[in-house]
Every structure is written in structure tokens, then in C-alpha cells.
Chains A and B, each alone.
Chain A
């Protein structure tokens, strides 16, 4: 079993829909990243969070440390949101390598 599990693996939505991507992890962490990767493109960090909730534009990330679960929400989805969204955790404290989920491939159709 992977240390970081994401669901769903693939998601297709109509433009304007509210989208939720889930991430569960089985190890102790100090922080969690949500990353975005467009096809053939680089990786952009959307959020790093260790508790509570963060919001940036139409994106919202939440984390529940006790339940070892995080969600990424996209409100009013748009075709340009189509990308792979990756959950990654920082195990332990300090500078440590990230452990990644396999990603959720999102397609938003106009």
C-alpha cells in the first residue's frame, strides 16, 4: 500500500462544477503539498499546509492531521484547470524528501 493515496485517479467535470480531490496518508508528516502539473509541463506548488485551511483564488486546501486526510477543492472549474494534481507529504521535520501520491488527472470540459 502506498504511503500517500489519492482519489479519484481520473476526474472529468463540466465547466463551472465544484471539484474535490482527496488525499490520505499513512505516515506522520510535518506538512503536505498540493502540486499541479500540466501535460508535458513543469510542477507548480499550489499549497503547502500543516493544519487547517488555505485559500488562493478558486482553490481551497484543507487538512485534518488527526484523520491523516487532505482535500483540494476547485470552485467554478474552468478548462484551464485541466491538469494532474499531486498530493505530496513531508515526513518528519526539517528538510526531507517529499513522498508523492500518484496524482489525479482532471479534465474540465467547456
Chain B
């Protein structure tokens, strides 16, 4: 009965490196959302994916950020050439395809860029 899994829980990267954040949705869920929480700010939507498709990426910065949700395996949020401003908590949430659209959150990945 695993919930939404995210790894790593904490990630430290130097400026210019790449960060890869992984999210495994709840069993049976095929919709994944990525949200970002900047220090002392509220949560903001980044991208919404279904298996093999990006449905809505309107909240994602145009450069350096990309996301995927392959047929097999977790969803991945990739940040290239990280900068200090990317330091934040990144949460993913998943939903199923039934009539309930309740989103279940993972524990988050806390990215620190030094």
C-alpha cells in the first residue's frame, strides 16, 4: 500500500550541475503533477503529465527544466545547469482515472544549490 514516492528526499547540487528528481505515483495512478515550493512562498504548479504525455506545462520555466513520465518507471523532473534560485522543495502528486480527482502528495525533494 505504498503512497507516492519521491527520491531523493534531499539533493545538493553545485551551480551548473544537473538535478534529476523522481516521482513514483500511487499504484494504479497514471496522472502526475509536479509543484514547486520556493522558500517562504506558496506552492506553484509546474507540469502535469500522464503516461508518455505532457498534458500541461504552463507552469514550467521555458529553459533548463523538462519533465517526462515514461511508459515504465517513475516520472522525472530534470533541471539542467542549476542556479541558486532553483533551491526549493519539489513535490509531486498523483491521481487516478476514477471519479475522484483527489491528489495524493509525495514527501517532496528538497533541492539545495550551492
Q: Contact flags (1/0) for B69-113 with A, using CB distance below 8 Å?
A: 000000000000000000000010101000011111111101000
By a CB distance below 8 angstroms, the chain A residues around B93 are: 98
Contact between chains at A95 and B101 (CB < 8 Å) = yes
In angstroms, how far is the closest chain B Cβ from the Cβ of A4?
A: 9
| Known interface pairs A42-B106, A42-B107; A94-B101 also in contact (CB < 8 Å) | yes
**Among A86, A94, A97, A102, residue most surrounded by chain B Cβ atoms (within 10 Å):** A97
**Among B101, B104, B110, residue most surrounded by chain A Cβ atoms (within 10 Å):** B101
B59 CB-CB contact with A under 8 Å: yes
By a CB distance below 8 angstroms, the chain B residues around A35 are: 105
In angstroms, how far is the closest chain A Cβ from the Cβ of B97?
A: 8
Contact of A43 among B56, B91, B100 (CB under 8 A): B91
Contact between chains at A43 and B105 (CB < 8 Å) = yes
Q: Which residues 43-60 of A have a CB within 8 angstroms of B? A: 43-45, 48
By a CB distance below 8 angstroms, the chain B residues around A31 are: 101-102
B54 CB-CB contact with A under 8 Å: no
B28 CB-CB contact with A under 8 Å: no
By a CB distance below 8 angstroms, the chain B residues around A86 are: 42-43
Contact between chains at A97 and B43 (CB < 8 Å) = no
Contact between chains at B45 and A95 (CB < 8 Å) = no
In angstroms, how far is the closest chain A Cβ from the Cβ of B109?
A: 11
Contact between chains at B48 and A95 (CB < 8 Å) = yes
By a CB distance below 8 angstroms, the chain A residues around B100 are: 48
In angstroms, how far is the closest chain B Cβ from the Cβ of A28?
A: 15
Q: Contact flags (1/0) for A88-102 with B, using CB distance below 8 Å?
A: 101000111111111
Contact of B59 among A48, A97, A102 (CB under 8 A): A97
* 25 A–B pairs (Cβ distance < 8 Å), ordered by A: A33-B103, A40-B110, A41-B107, A42-B91, A42-B106, A42-B107, A43-B43, A43-B91, A43-B105, A86-B42, A86-B43, A94-B101, A95-B55, A95-B95, A96-B101, A97-B33, A97-B35, A97-B45, A98-B33, A98-B43, A98-B45, A98-B93, A100-B42, A100-B44, A102-B42
